[in-house]
Amino acid sequence: MKEKNSLLHKLISNLKENHPTISSEYKYIGTGSPNKNILIIGKEAAIKVGSVQYEIEINDNLNYWDNLSDFDTSKIPALNFNKYEALYPYKGQILKKDNGENWGTSKTWMNYQKLFNLIENDKENRLINFHEKSFLTEVNSTPSKITSEADTSSISFRKEHVLTSDFFQTFPIVIISGVGYFENTKKENEIEKIFGVKFSEKKFANKTKKSQPYWIHWNEEKTKIVINTHQLSIGISDLLLKDIAKEIINSNLLN
């Protein structure tokens, strides 16, 4: 745990000291518990650039982690949405689509939570608590509600200076929720290059229709698994979530 904390602050120091003129947006770290074994990498946050939410959640993210020394999520109060905490954003949300009044959340976070409920075999859980069990970051730190309209200029910097950092390399289980943001050709496989793994197998959650694909990658020592699949938002089936959960359980890398 101390090693991870040290590596996180090493990353923060590197981003601040060696890239002072780069936009703070590019240096976004993420949300959730840095000391856990599961890393989720999404495409980009679905919020409005320039909004108050953007300033708090994206632009101030690096400073938040730089000033945080206690990673105990139990100390974050529930339903205190007036004070944003990247360690446990919007603690107290429930497993329902947000309607502005029900303390619900986004479709993507609902699917993340369903995945963790499957991993832990906790069918009764109705809270959004995956932040206690994982760390979440984005390939693209420039938010966009529609991926096809996203400004992707931050991606190359983040691949080179953030995702390849020692801190992000410590996670033994990596879920990449977003096909298309990593180059995958006969000449180059960016997932292999960035995470130190080799492609193992392409699978389909819906085996009859050959749909809902996901790609498995392992390192040579079998101490890291990287699962690449489509963005876990609209159009994702429970079959895919169940298959990914099984892969994670069977990897024996949770503890």
pLDDT tens by residue, 115-128: 999 999 999 999 99
CB atoms within 10 A of CB 158: 22
Is the CB of residue 130 less than 8 Å from the CB of residue 245? no
Over range 121-137, report the average pLDDT.
97
Q: Which domains does the chain have, with CATH numbers?
A: 2-251 (3.40.470)
pLDDT tens by residue, 72-88: 999 999 999 999 999 99
Is the CB of residue 170 less than 8 Å from the CB of residue 216? no
pLDDT tens by residue, 14-43: 999 999 999 999 999 999 999 999 999 999
The radius of gyration computed from the CA coordinates of the chain, to the nearest angstrom, equals 17
Over range 45-69, report the average pLDDT.
96
Buried b (16+ CB within 10 A) or exposed e, 95-122: beebeeeebbbbbbbbbbbbbbbbbeee
Is the CB of residue 158 less than 8 Å from the CB of residue 190? no
Collapse the DSSP code of 33 into the 3-class scheme (helix H, G, I; strand E, B; otherwise coil) and give the result.
Answer: coil
| Strands (E) located in 84-128 | none
Grade residue 1 by pLDDT with cuts at 50, 70 and 90.
low
Is the CB of residue 130 less than 8 Å from the CB of residue 111? no
The two tokens of residue 5 are 């904390």
d(CA 244, CA 226): 11
The two tokens of residue 90 are 């919007």
Half-sphere exposure of 229 (CA within 13 A, CB side): 25
